Amino acid sequence: MFVAPTFRSGDREGDPAVYFRRELVVGPGLRRATLRASALGILVSYVNGTRVGDDVLAPGWTSYRHRVDLRAHDVTTLLAEGPAVLGAIVGEGWALGRLGWENTRNHYSDKPAWYAELELEYADRTETVTTDGAVRVGTGAVLSTSIYDGETHDARLEPHGWSEPGFDASGWSGVSAVEWPGELVTPLGPPIRRVEELAPVEVLTTPSGRTVVDFGQIVSGWVRFTVDGPAGTTVTLRHAELVTDGELDPTTLRTAKATDRYTLRGGGPETWEPSFTFHGFRYVEVDGWPGALDPAALRAVVVHSDMARTGWLETSDPLLNRLHANVVWSMRGNFVGVPTDCPQRDERLGWTGDIHAFAPTAAFLYDVRGVLGSWLTDLAAEQRAAGSVPWVVPDVLPHPSSPTALWSDVAVGLPAALYAEYGDPAILEAAYPSMTAFVDQVEGLLDENGLWSGGFQYGDWLDPDAPPEDPAGGKTDRHLVAAAYLCRTVRTLADAAQVLGHTADADRYGALATRVREAFRAEYVTPTGRVSGETVTAYALAVCFGLVEGPELAKAGGRLAALVAKSGYRISTGFAGTPFVLDALTATGHLAEAFLMLAEKSCPSFLYPVTQGATTVWERWDSIRPDGTLNPSGMTSLNHYALGAVASWLHRTVGGLSAAEPGYRRVRIAPRPGAGLTHATLRHDTDHGRIEVAWRVDGTTTVVEVTLPDGVTGSVELPADPDARTLEVGPGVHRWEYATLVGPAEVLDFDTPLRTLAADPAVWRSLTDVFAKHLPGIPIEATAPEAARISLNIMLDLIPGAPAAMRDDLAAALTGGTTR
Ligand code: BGC
């Protein structure tokens, strides 16, 4: 059973951790001992004074109302015949500590509680020792344990030998049993571990004279240090993501204090790291250090769920590589047990929309079956209990969630993304009741036209043009977003029903998919293929979700390309649209524009944060603005993976690998060089083995190398191949070397970006001549760099006085050349 102290504990901020102790006697002939332990709170387990296991932040965060992880550890070597002690320190963790920006606490329990069962296997019998009335409880060195605010530890207060036999616990208190509705379960996800350590890259003395250590990378975790000084000295570490005007800047933490304090025991070197908190940080301000600070005394400990890495991409462009690395780091920072929005501020919640947008990227980069399988199990449990998919899982919001696009429909989109990656129908089978419950619920909300037109929607969340105080108020009609996502969601469910052999459901949901698609088209698509509202997100969704067809597709693609050009290849989409813009451009024959977007560096753009020294993906592309100030909206995390969803396009288009069948038994390999890239190498570990794609364009020669493991076949579309070959290949290493296609590849017209026109010196020369002739006061070059991003059409719109004859001359100049 779970036991909790009889004294008051855990219902106030800053309460100390609770120390639990259970004595036992080990008999002769012990063969094996297994400890299974868990907590309502965060737990560190001990057997006879030795810390058990290398996992941290146990039991991790699940939807505790329903399930708490119970992890097994082999502790045979820690026990011998005679008296023994099981110990545990339990801090407030997610079960008791404040969660969410509204600062509510005790979401799952009023007191820290401990559960343990020690299975002792002898030759002739098995005995089990559990947390029962024999447990004694006290306090010690761990004085506060807040996830958001940090940990306080006074080493002088640690009771010597408290988790060993012989300790006098007569002054400690008894325990009471805890009533708890959930289930103890074998963990579905990997443990959270210390995965890497980073040394400081610089120690800064700030203008106000403080010491700030820079680890060079935003991570999730904490700092471990070794210090030698007098007893009673307190070292304080304040963590933050950034330094502004030379000083540590905690603005992006909001109310989270992210401060660890350690008071020295004295008498020799002491090494300490927190056990009950974690921080999202790059910088740490160190205060109270005895003597001169030696940077070698500090390490940033990177902490997250210990998943296997499965995806890599390297290109010839260092900026692009940094963007990709930032996506990986943001994933690592936000997979601390639960897929979260951000790891630093007073939030760190399992926001459903964020992981929905990011799921295909996450599944390429790491084996996420454990973490996301566990999370989906929680989602289904919460959904069953509440009747709706919560906006955050585990749900700790103070109000019920209503169904919304991109957030709640993760119930369908995430299992589908995992099925696409791993090809295992059991993923769909497990999620099926949750998937159907979501769609059935929304079907009941449709209006008489079959549209999801009412209720709250997040819309194209964080559209850069939305007012700072209304992140859901972007340019794209939020009900258009909802209706578009619903089309995809219902179609996905119908396909899943088909895969699982639920043919009646497949027919029913197939019919619903047709109905909502027709409703969308009737409401939002004009007969010639314009999409209502004419925003980049509206077109991107319509194209990628199959909502425009036939000739409309070309029209929609053209309009999309024009809008993208008009916005100077900067980003004009939020969470809903950003993952699809480059795909929509690529699918409609506008790869050049997709690469122009990818290569853009002005704010807001994919590469802008990289040019500002970002080491993770920001919540907004302009979280830090070009003048160096923080976006003042109050929602400006520097570590949010959602917009990193663009990496999926990089994997499929630059790296060139997509699964042609769920699980990569059949693949499509079609790398598309662009943006001046000269080579790229992609590796992906699938259940069949490693797939590698490498291409290189050296002057006029292209080399492509593809390696497929046993059991995998695919089609290879060779890039820049004069013969435009598509080849069928099987397992093994394949290599092609050929003369690169040169010559006319693209027709130049009034919609071609000036940047593309400028790449052809002959055409550019003719165009500048036309400008010089007709508008001698406005040389075409003078509008650069702005001009480079817009087309002649847009430019002529901007110059109302342009003589009509000029258009004819420009047309002639355009036909004078073509460019690659
Ligand atoms: C989170 C987002 C989340 C959003 C939805 C924010 O505070 O950080 O990423 O999806 O809220 O409301």
Average pLDDT over residues 202-218: 98
The helix/strand/coil state of 166 is coil
Count of C-beta atoms within a 10 Å radius of residue 759: 14
> Which residue's C-alpha comes closest to atom 4 of ligand 1?
351
Q: What is the pLDDT of residue 798?
A: 74
DSSP calls for 198-227? E--SEEEE-TTS-EEEEEEEEEEEEEEEEE
User: Which of 130-162 are b and which e, b meaning 16 or more Cβ less than 10 Å from the residue's Cβ?
Assistant: bbeeebbbbbbbbbbbbbbbbbbbbbeeebeeb
Please work out whether the CB of residue 338 comes within 6 Å of at least one atom of ligand 1: no
Q: What is the pLDDT of residue 780?
A: 63
φ, ψ (nearest 5 deg) of residue 554 = -65, -40
φ, ψ (nearest 5 deg) of residue 70 = -125, 105
Contact residues for 508 (Cβ-Cβ < 8 A; gap 6+): none
Query: How far apart are the CA of 604 and the centre of ligand 1, in A?
Result: 19
Query: Which pLDDT band holds residue 210 (cuts at 50, 70, 90)?
Result: very high
Angstrom distance (rounded) from CA 180 to CA 520: 46
Query: How far apart are the CA of 648 and the centre of ligand 1, in A?
Result: 21
Please work out whether the CB of residue 459 comes within 6 Å of at least one atom of ligand 1: no
Active site residue 347: yes
The amino acid that residue 510 corresponds to is G
Average pLDDT over residues 185-200: 98
Q: What is the pLDDT of residue 2?
A: 97
Query: How far apart are the CA of 351 and the centre of ligand 1, in A?
Result: 6
Q: Point out the least confidently predicted range of 272-276, 299-303, 328-332, 744-748.
A: 744-748
Sign of the torsion angle spanned by Cα atoms 433, 642, 582, 577: positive
Best of 254, 338, 351 for a ligand 1 pocket test (most atoms within 8 Å of beta carbon): 351
The helix/strand/coil state of 442 is helix
Query: How far apart are the CA of 461 and the centre of ligand 1, in A?
Result: 8
Q: What is the pLDDT of residue 422?
A: 98
Please work out whether the CB of residue 477 comes within 6 Å of at least one atom of ligand 1: no
Instruction: Indicate which atom in ligand 1 lies nearest the CA of residue 637.
Output: 8
The answer on pLDDT for 785 being more than 60 is: no
> Which residue's C-alpha comes closest to atom 3 of ligand 1?
351
Do 739 and 701 form a contact (C-beta atoms < 8 A)? Answer: yes
Please work out whether the CB of residue 358 comes within 6 Å of at least one atom of ligand 1: no
Query: Which pLDDT band holds residue 766 (cuts at 50, 70, 90)?
Result: confident
φ, ψ (nearest 5 deg) of residue 795 = -65, -40
Q: What is the pLDDT of residue 101?
A: 83
Hunting for tokens 């060993």 — which residue is that? 164
Best of 461, 578, 619, 640 for a ligand 1 pocket test (most atoms within 8 Å of beta carbon): 461
Give the rounded percent of residues in the chain with a pLDDT score beyond 70: 96
DSSP state of 302: E
Query: How far apart are the CA of 738 and the centre of ligand 1, in A?
Result: 49
Query: How far apart are the CA of 153 and the centre of ligand 1, in A?
Result: 32
pLDDT tens track for 560-603 = 999 999 998 999 999 999 999 999 999 999 999 999 999 999 99
Average pLDDT over residues 184-210: 98
Please work out whether the CB of residue 635 comes within 6 Å of at least one atom of ligand 1: yes
Q: What is the pLDDT of residue 784?
A: 45
Please work out whether the CB of residue 354 comes within 6 Å of at least one atom of ligand 1: yes
> Which residue's C-alpha comes closest to atom 11 of ligand 1?
351
The answer on pLDDT for 744 being more than 70 is: no
The helix/strand/coil state of 153 is strand
Count of C-beta atoms within a 10 Å radius of residue 265: 18
| Pairing status of strand 211-227 against strand 279-287 | antiparallel
Q: Which residues pair with 300 in a beta bridge?
A: 198, 223
Please work out whether the CB of residue 576 comes within 6 Å of at least one atom of ligand 1: no
Instruction: Indicate which atom in ligand 1 lies nearest the CA of residue 345.
Output: 8
Q: Kindly state the tokens that stand for 700.
A: 């006029």
Count of C-beta atoms within a 10 Å radius of residue 443: 17
Instruction: Indicate which atom in ligand 1 lies nearest the CA of residue 642.
Output: 9
Please work out whether the CB of residue 346 comes within 6 Å of at least one atom of ligand 1: no
Using alpha carbons, list the distances in angstroms from residue 185 to 62, 65, 70, 206, 382: 10, 12, 6, 49, 16
Q: What is the pLDDT of residue 751?
A: 81
Angstrom distance (rounded) from CA 768 to CA 766: 6
User: Which of 619-638 are b and which e, b meaning 16 or more Cβ less than 10 Å from the residue's Cβ?
Assistant: bbbbbbbeeeebbebebbbb
Average pLDDT over residues 317-335: 98
Query: Which pLDDT band holds residue 792 (cuts at 50, 70, 90)?
Result: confident
The helix/strand/coil state of 540 is helix
The answer on pLDDT for 296 being more than 50 is: yes
The answer on pLDDT for 448 being more than 90 is: yes
pLDDT tens track for 634-670 = 789 999 999 999 999 999 999 999 999 999 999 999 9
Sign of the torsion angle spanned by Cα atoms 499, 503, 505, 510: positive
DSSP state of 651: I
Angstrom distance (rounded) from CA 144 to CA 151: 5
Q: What is the pLDDT of residue 752?
A: 83
Hunting for tokens 């447990």 — which residue is that? 135
Number of residues that this document lists for the chain? 820
Best of 252, 340, 341 for a ligand 1 pocket test (most atoms within 8 Å of beta carbon): 341
Instruction: Indicate which atom in ligand 1 lies nearest the CA of residue 342.
Output: 8
DSSP state of 780: G
Average pLDDT over residues 379-386: 97
The answer on pLDDT for 77 being more than 90 is: yes
Query: How far apart are the CA of 339 and the centre of ligand 1, in A?
Result: 13
Angle subtended at Cα 294 by Cα 288 and Cα 298, rounded to the nearest 5 degrees: 80
Mean pLDDT of the chain, nearest integer: 94
Query: How far apart are the CA of 312 and the centre of ligand 1, in A?
Result: 28
Query: How far apart are the CA of 819 and the centre of ligand 1, in A?
Result: 43
Do 213 and 46 form a contact (C-beta atoms < 8 A)? Answer: no
Q: Kindly state the tokens that stand for 215.
A: 């680890």
Q: What is the pLDDT of residue 468?
A: 81
Strand boundaries in 494-565, DSSP class E: none
Rg, the chain, Cα only: 29
The answer on pLDDT for 773 being more than 90 is: no
Count of C-beta atoms within a 10 Å radius of residue 773: 12
The helix/strand/coil state of 813 is helix
The answer on pLDDT for 697 being more than 50 is: yes
The answer on pLDDT for 373 being more than 90 is: yes
pLDDT tens track for 608-627 = 999 999 999 999 999 999 99
pLDDT tens track for 485-531 = 999 999 999 999 999 999 999 999 999 999 999 999 999 999 989 99
Active site residue 429: no
The answer on pLDDT for 746 being more than 70 is: no
The answer on pLDDT for 338 being more than 50 is: yes
Please work out whether the CB of residue 117 comes within 6 Å of at least one atom of ligand 1: no
Q: What is the pLDDT of residue 722?
A: 87
Average pLDDT over residues 63-82: 98
Please work out whether the CB of residue 347 comes within 6 Å of at least one atom of ligand 1: yes
Catalytic residue from among 273, 285, 347, 421: 347
> Which residue's C-alpha comes closest to atom 12 of ligand 1?
458
Helix, strand, coil content of the chain in percent (nearest 5): 30, 25, 40
Angstrom distance (rounded) from CA 272 to CA 313: 37
> Which residue's C-alpha comes closest to atom 8 of ligand 1?
341
The answer on pLDDT for 202 being more than 90 is: yes
